[in-house]
Amino acid sequence: MFYRHGVEPGKLPSLSSYLERLPRGLDSYPDVVVKASVYRDSLASLSLDDCLGVLPDELRELVTHPLPVTAWVPEVRSLSILIAVRDRHFPQTEAGVDAYEEWVFERNYRLLRRPLYRALFMLLSPERLISGVERRWSAFRRGTSLRVVERSEGRADLAITHPENLFDHTVRRGMCGAFRAASVAAGARDVTAEVVDVAERETRVRVCWR
C-alpha cells in the first residue's frame, strides 16, 4: 500500500503528521543541517531496530548505516528519527510527551557528565552558559540560529529562528529537556524550560533557574 512520504500513520503517527506539514517531506530544507552525533546519540539510548520495516528508505539508511558523528545531515531527517523514537517508545498522549522530554533531559545530562564535558562544565556558571549559547548552537547546526533576546537574574529568553514547520510539539519539548540538562550541568538548580511563543519561523523558550 502506498503512503504519502512513505510513513504509515497508524504505525508512526507523529512522524506522519510532521512530514505532512513540510513542503517536501523528508526532502524539505536540505541546506538546514545538524551534526549526525545528535541522532546517533539518541539511537544509542532507544533504538528503532524493531520498526525498520515501517521507516522511509531515507531514514532506514541513516539508522542502519549511521553517518560519522561529525558529518552534517539534513535536520529534517535527524528530527524525523527523534520523532520516530517518540512514536515507538512513548505514549501518544501529553504524558507521553512529558516522558519524552524527561528522556531527552536525562540523556543529555549523562552525556554532559562524561569526562570530556564534565571538566568544561565545572568551569561554567549558568550565566556563562547562556552567554555562549549562540556559539554552541551554531557549532552543531547550520540554517537555524539561536539568540538571547532577554535575560535577567535566574532567567533567559531564547529565540530560535528556523524554516516554517521545522519544529513540531515533540521537537520543541525535546529542546526544553536539552536546555534544562545543560543548565543543570553548569550548576543551576530548580531549572525549568518552557516554550513561551511559537510562530511560523521562530520559537521562544524561557529558561529559569536559581
Could you read off the pLDDT of 12-70 as tens digits, one per residue? 999 999 999 999 999 999 999 999 999 999 999 999 999 999 999 999 999 999 999 99
Q: Which three cell numbers stand for residue 53?
A: 520495516
Could you give the CA distance from residue 163 to residue 159 in angstroms, rounded to a whole number? 13
Note the CATH number of domain 123-208: 3.30.1360
Q: Which residue ranges make up each domain of the chain?
A: 4-89, 123-208
Q: Is the pLDDT of residue 93 over 90?
A: yes
Measure the CA angle with vertex 28, ends 43 and 52; round to 5°.
35
Could you read off the pLDDT of 149-159 as tens digits, one per residue? 999 999 999 99
The partner residues of 148 in beta bridges, in order of sequence, read 158
Of the candidates 144, 146, 145, 141, the one whose C-alpha atom is nearest the C-alpha of residue 130 is: 146
Could you give the CA distance from residue 76 to residue 56 in angstroms, rounded to a whole number? 13
- 129 neighbors 191 (Cβ within 8 angstroms): no
* % of the chain surpassing 70 pLDDT: 93
Q: Is the pLDDT of residue 2 over 50?
A: no
